[in-house]
Structure 1
Amino acid sequence: MHEGNLDEDVAQLIRLEKKLQIPEGIYLSLRKQGSDWEFAIKLMVLLEAALGRVISEHLHNEAINSHCESLNINGRSGKVALAQALGIIDEAEKKTFLALADIRNAFAHKLENISGNLQDFASRLESQRLEALLKACLTVPKQMENQVSFLWRNPQPAILRSYMWIGGNNLLVALAFQDQAAERERARRHALELANYSTGGVATALDEWQSNHGLMNHEK
């Protein structure tokens, strides 16, 4: 689970949006714009696209991205299971992904909900079910659950959309940082490959890579 400051998180979110070739700020706009039905659909479209892109970057293979588009979000062979196996997401993030997908499937996949809203949908859920969904949306590590359980106890249906947006934001920021780390690893590997053809050897290639990523030792 990623922990960072707000400015850095927003910068990472913008960077990921650019990589996905979607308008800057589109995720931030989802918090209040559009109907609940549109929100639930767009939220998971963005999350699934981001997850597939990061898996592809992590495996250093662009072809993987197209393959991921055909995978289900859940299941033993789904995108979420693959991402967790690769260490891209942790257990709490997995639960958030699945909770958001569950809500999308239960709410947005029903035609009658096009003109409905998430508050009415939440009010029809059993209290324990709603608590479980809200808890999962917040991406809370297991060791912190008791400390923040007040956030989902005795839940109010009106907060479901806000909690979903928070969960989606947590996931996208975490994926953006994972994507950046994968990019740097790909660049490092490329530098090592160049070393095989460089007269300067491994040291020169690594220096080039470190310089490009601002990692040079300034005490040299």
Structure 2
Amino acid sequence: MYLNKEESFEMLFEKLDSLEVDLNEDITELFNILDDKSDWAFMIKATAYIELVLTNAITKQLSEDTMLAVVKHLPLINKNTGKVAIARNLGLLDKTHVSFIQEVASIRNEYAHNFEYVAMTLSEYFKKLEPNKANIKYRSMCIDNTGEPYRQLLESRPQLAIILGILFVSMRVKSALMTSEVKSELERLEMKTLRDLVGKIA
């Protein structure tokens, strides 16, 4: 690969700075919803945030602003046509992130469609699960493979555990987008460098 090192490093640093700004914005937004007094409202907002991250990433990856109108109306979870499936097929998510999102969406749906959950805390929600179902949920939500420490965090501070999981998802999606952009930009810089070399030789 023939590249101008200075231009390449400048581009990489710009992308990393942009990623840092994006992640700081995510942290600010997500910790703002952590203040919710109602876990019911928290689950609705947390799932909506995941959906926003995926919608923006898919439309950006497809490089089509016109796709936004289509993508934003897709369901979050659907085996073939949901945002999670599309993001997975585009390489924006891996299996661990998909499992986490599916569990968050499942909890959100239980909260949204059962009036008795309105006053129920997430801690109460996890305590009322039968042991086998609880173990499956904990394993599916353990996004960073820490196992028991994450399970303890889910039991003691479920909102914080979910926020951290969403941050992992967002970081993964934005890193995958950045990697794709860097690859395209490096290819563009390589062509520019080759043209410059050919111009000097000719």
Answer yes or no: same fold by TM over 0.5: yes
RMSD value, Cα: 3.1
More helix by share: 2
- TM-score, normalised with respect to structure 1: 0.67
Once the two structures are TM-superposed, the CA of residue 96 in structure 1 deviates from its matched residue by 0.9
Structure 2: unaligned runs, 5 residues or longer: 1-16, 197-202
RCO higher in 1 or 2 (8 Å CA, sep ≥ 6)?
A: 2
Once the two structures are TM-superposed, the CA of residue 104 in structure 1 deviates from its matched residue by 0.7
1:11 pairs with 2:9: no
**8 Å CA contact retained: 2:96, 2:143:** yes
User: How do 1:28-107 residues align onto structure 2 when only pairs under 5 Å count?
Assistant: 28-75=31-78, 76-107=80-111
Give the secondary-structure state (helix, strand or coil) at the position aligned to 1:11: helix
The count of residues paired between Structure 1 and Structure 2 equals 178
**8 Å CA contact retained: 1:96, 1:167:** yes
**8 Å CA contact retained: 2:40, 2:111:** yes
Once the two structures are TM-superposed, the CA of residue 43 in structure 1 deviates from its matched residue by 0.6
Counterpart for residue 3 of structure 2: none
For residues 41-67 of structure 1, the C-alpha deviation after alignment (integer angstroms, 9 at most, x for no partner) is: 111111111101111111111122221
Counterpart for residue 167 of structure 1: 165
Distance 1:78 1:201 in 2: 41
**8 Å CA contact retained: 1:72, 1:79:** yes
For residues 135-181 of structure 1, the C-alpha deviation after alignment (integer angstroms, 9 at most, x for no partner) is: 222313xxxx5xx4333668974443332222111111222222333
Distance 1:28 1:152 in 2: 18
- TM-score, normalised with respect to structure 2: 0.72
Give the secondary-structure state (helix, strand or coil) at the position aligned to 1:25: helix
Distance 1:108 1:32 in 2: 19
Stretch of structure 1 that moved more, 89-98 or 117-126: 117-126
Give the secondary-structure state (helix, strand or coil) at the position aligned to 2:143: coil
Distance 2:164 2:153 in 1: 16
Distance 1:163 1:155 in 2: 6
Once the two structures are TM-superposed, the CA of residue 98 in structure 1 deviates from its matched residue by 0.7
**8 Å CA contact retained: 1:83, 1:89:** yes
Change (3 A) 1:12 1:138: farther
Structure 1: unaligned runs, 5 residues or longer: 1-6, 18-23, 205-220
Change (3 A) 1:10 1:29: farther
Sequence identity, in percent?
20
Change (3 A) 1:89 1:153: closer
Distance 2:58 2:114 in 1: 30
